Structure 1
Amino acid sequence: MRLNRIVLLLFILLIVSCKSSAPFVEVPEKSTFEKLASIKNVVKIEKLELVSHFDENYEIWFNQPIDHNDLSKGTFNQRVFLGFENTSKPVIVELRGYGIGSDKAGELASHYEANQLAIEHRYFNNSRPAEIDWNTLTIENAAKDQSIIINAIRDVLYPKSKFISTGISKGCQTTMAHRRYFPKNVDASVCYVGPLNFKREDPRIYSFLKNVGTKEEREKVKAFQNLCFENRSALLEQMKNVAKKGQLSWEFGIENALDYTILEYSFAYWQWGTDVSSIPPKDVSPNIIYKHLIDVVGYSFFEASSVEKLQPYFWAALTEQGIYGYETKPFKKYFNSNEVKKFDWAFPEGITKTYNTQPMKEIKSYLDISAEKILFIYGEYDTWSATAVELQKDASKRQLYKFVKPKGDHKTRIKSFEQDKQNKIYKIIDNWLN
């Protein structure tokens, strides 16, 4: 019996010895491309030319439900850009309110030399189904799109990294909505110049335009608008000539287009920080008047091809996120009524929808009661600051902060502030990342 045990022991030792002497085969780690390809709803990946500081750069297409609450409606493909730097670095998630215009690093990714995940908003650019069911374009569906993408990228590449979401303007609205539905999906957020509107045509815009800047500058702005209306016939001929040469058109008519452009001037003037010295005096030609008007307002908000591209923006604004209108009362001698001119014409053809006030109220409630680690950036003179987020007095206890650049406009970023304020802002973000 004892002999059998000795033989068995020698046999086991022989097996162990053989295994230990066998050559060690190292399994190579999967590449970034392979890890991304392993995501179940990724349908296409393309490795792109390097940009910014990224070591690798990818365009990725995710297959997403058209309606997360009704999967029978099918799917669409959503575009994402990933600037891969290092799995030990933070991930800056740029939640675009529109399409993706560039895959370059944004302000935060550049500052931290971090990874960047840019998510195109559903139904912009090519991130749209062949035929759009407009009722599925909701902030809830968009937030669920973003959550799926963030979770998938985190799982395969960055399980230990900090994630910070960020967005500009409508992207800021998108960032707020994403945090309201998925408060723990990222570690913190930085929101730039985003409105929080409580009505479809939020009247705070009108009050803002009556009080922003100095009295002298406001008077010059209004005087220029009056000058445009006084020269309306000449300006209309110029717009017709431009339309003919540039093949431009307006679904609600060229005369309405001119009126809306003149009314938009004050909003655009303050939004983009126009230099008051650029406003023409009264004794200039219609050519100069028209040029300045278009330099400030442009054609991209009302012209038919632009409206088609911006259709998802108008739908969201007119149904959940809010916009503004134009008061005609200050120009009553040029109009037959005191009506507020609205954007009803911007609905997709054949469909309208009642504005739902609940989503923005829910975001406000979230910010007032439970939101944590969100930093807001605004420009004082930006017209969209009329409906900026207002923080509760105890907001800093939940690490909610708001910084307003004096006389800043819609282009205000962290780099727009004085150095000491930039340091203060980045110290907050540093603490979130650490």
Structure 2
Amino acid sequence: MARAARFPHLLLLLPLLALAGPVACGDDPDTTPDSGTQGVDAGTGDSGTGDAGTGDSGTGTEDAGTDGGVACTPSGWDAGTADTGVITDTSLDILVRLRAIPGLSVQENPNGARVPAGYRFFIMTFNQPSDHAHPECQRFEQRVTLLHAADTKPLVLSTGGYNVSVAPSRSELTQLLSANQLSVEHRFFPPSIPSPADWSHLTVRQSADDFHRLTQALKLLYTGKWVSTGASKGGETVVFFRRYYPDDVDATVAYVAPIARRDDDRFPAFQAVVGGDAQAACRERLWAFQREVLTRREKMLERYRTYAAEQQLTFTRLGFERALEHAVIETYFAFWQYDVPSRCSTNIPDPTATDEALFAAMDYEVGLDSFSDKGIAGYDAYYYQAALELGWPQPYEAHLGALIQHPGTDTGDVYSPPGIPFVFRPEAMPDIQDWVSVHGERLMFIYGSLDPWTSAAYVLGNAQDSFFYTVEGGNHGSRISQLPAEAQAAAKANLNRWMGIAPLKRAPKVSLAEEPPTFAPHLPPRLRSGLHR
């Protein structure tokens, strides 16, 4: 059991009783300070409010842009008095107990969705400070969902790092453990965004503070073991959470989670040889495809403009020229990220193909609407995070030579929302990696050998009771259930041990089609239904 879960129930609840309001604190979007330039540590200067999520876990790491110098007018928001007798009374219905938690608004399956057998489904919001250093100022509602099985079963704390689906779907871990599942929308992904939004509050530390407050609130109900999990950006998000609050959960399973650098040159080096000799022919086919598309630049641009008109899309942020080049670059990346080599000759046309076939192949692999104003704006929060702290892959484009007329522009800072200032924090990701290597424990990382994001995989170092697994031939959808039998059995045994579950003679079957829908920039249209293929 994580250390926080051993506190008396009343002590756990006290931080939730002093929350302050949802009203904007005089923020002026035109005077938003430069992200990354402030040296205030989110959650460490609490203004005496006692809001959960303010402890630093002894890290002493400063977080950029948590105050921003914005004048604060206390809102006077009051969550009311919690009835701990109701919250901890296991004889009461779970809906009654959930609604007794201060700041938590709850609806049970309001859309009448089909719920997995043995579960009840809730869509909820949890009131959070925009800036955990000043909980008396602006606040927002963070959307979460809950699949409830039993309050004594393990709880899987899950996030995709982007939006959250309001459909009752179960992650791989939830299926393996027959567990409860709490799914969390990342701050600044609508509707979980303050209004007006001070983007300097979108940091890894502020996000970790969100998860901390939510975890402390729900642990009054869910007294079993907790495991955090997520894939890709969700995977790195739960590792960030563990770095700042290592005892809030008992273990973490992060799938295909990168720990990148600014303009990370490990990515092009990986892509140049991805798959080794066995995939040399596929790499050559993709390179030939890229060269042919760019050789037919004017015809491709004409098709792109027609496509934009038909789809009612605008391209003012990138322009069609850059959008086309980025689509060509990202098609190669996306093939290895989401497709499989066995379909290389089927999905990637040869250079003699028609203009229509070449254009359609790009749309299939990467989604040409991803480069439109609408496609980019949907992931503004991610691009801002990449530009501020997360880093991004260096474009793999050198092999295309003079065919690339806008080199070095397929980057996080170019895609970051216009008019929102930032200063990249080079220490942010090394700090996370250092924590994993020196202080990490009960961590499990799953990667795919062909996935370009594996080039920025975490390094275990001296992490204790921690494991690194690779799905050979796997892409960005790699999961425990895709590991070889021996490694799969070992991973499941470690997970069961962490969760205090006796080994099962027959492990539960996992259906990846039942997993939550995927959210990600440049997600191929065929995967936007959430299916893993």
TM-score, scaled relative to structure 1: 0.89
> Is residue 2:130 matched to residue 1:69?
no
Cα distance, 1:125–1:330 mapped onto 2, change above 3 Å: same
5 Å matches for 1:66-105? 66-101=130-165, 102-105=167-170
5 Å matches for 1:106-255? 106-155=171-220, 157-159=221-223, 161-197=224-260, 199-213=261-275, 214-250=279-315, 251-255=317-321
Q: Which amino acid aligns with 2:171?
A: G
Q: Indicate conservation of the 8 Å contact 1:327/1:340, yes or no.
A: no
Farther-moved stretch of structure 1 (182-191 vs 122-131): 122-131
CA distance in 2, matches of 1:211, 1:236: 30
Alpha-carbon deviation of 1:216?
2.3
Q: Indicate conservation of the 8 Å contact 1:54/1:83, yes or no.
A: no
In the alignment, which residue of structure 2 is the partner of 1:345?
414
- Picking from 397, 411, 424, the partner of 2:477 is 411
Q: Per-residue CA shift, 1:43-81, capped at 9, x if unaligned? A: x21000451234321111111000001235410000111
Cα distance, 1:122–1:103 mapped onto 2, change above 3 Å: farther
Cα distance, 1:359–1:300 mapped onto 2, change above 3 Å: farther
In the alignment, which residue of structure 2 is the partner of 1:266?
332
Q: Indicate conservation of the 8 Å contact 2:386/2:412, yes or no.
A: no
CA distance in 2, matches of 1:400, 1:386: 19
Farther-moved stretch of structure 1 (99-108 vs 183-192): 99-108
- Picking from 314, 321, 326, the partner of 2:390 is 321
In the alignment, which residue of structure 2 is the partner of 1:20?
none
CA distance in 1, matches of 2:135, 2:102: 16
Cα distance, 1:90–1:300 mapped onto 2, change above 3 Å: farther
Farther-moved stretch of structure 1 (276-285 vs 345-354): 345-354
Alpha-carbon deviation of 1:412?
0.6
In the alignment, which residue of structure 2 is the partner of 1:382?
451
Structure 2: where are the runs of 5+ without partners? Answer: 1-88, 501-533
What SS is found at the alignment partner of 1:148? helix
CA distance in 1, matches of 2:125, 2:169: 18
Q: Which amino acid aligns with 1:178?
A: F
- Picking from 74, 96, 109, the partner of 1:34 is 96
CA distance in 2, matches of 1:209, 1:163: 36
CA distance in 2, matches of 1:369, 1:70: 31
Provide the alpha-carbon RMSD of the alignment. 1.7
In the alignment, which residue of structure 1 is the partner of 2:12?
none
- Highest Rg: 1 or 2? 1
Tell me the matched-pair count.
Answer: 401
Cα distance, 1:284–1:54 mapped onto 2, change above 3 Å: same
CA distance in 1, matches of 2:195, 2:295: 45
What SS is found at the alignment partner of 2:424? coil
Cα distance, 1:322–1:190 mapped onto 2, change above 3 Å: same
- Picking from 464, 469, 492, the partner of 1:426 is 492
Q: Which has the higher helix share?
A: 1
What SS is found at the alignment partner of 2:360? helix
Q: Per-residue CA shift, 1:146-191, capped at 9, x if unaligned? A: 1111111111x113x0000001100011011000000000000110
TM-score, scaled relative to structure 2: 0.73
CA distance in 1, matches of 2:352, 2:212: 56
In the alignment, which residue of structure 2 is the partner of 1:287?
356
Q: Indicate conservation of the 8 Å contact 2:386/2:413, yes or no.
A: no
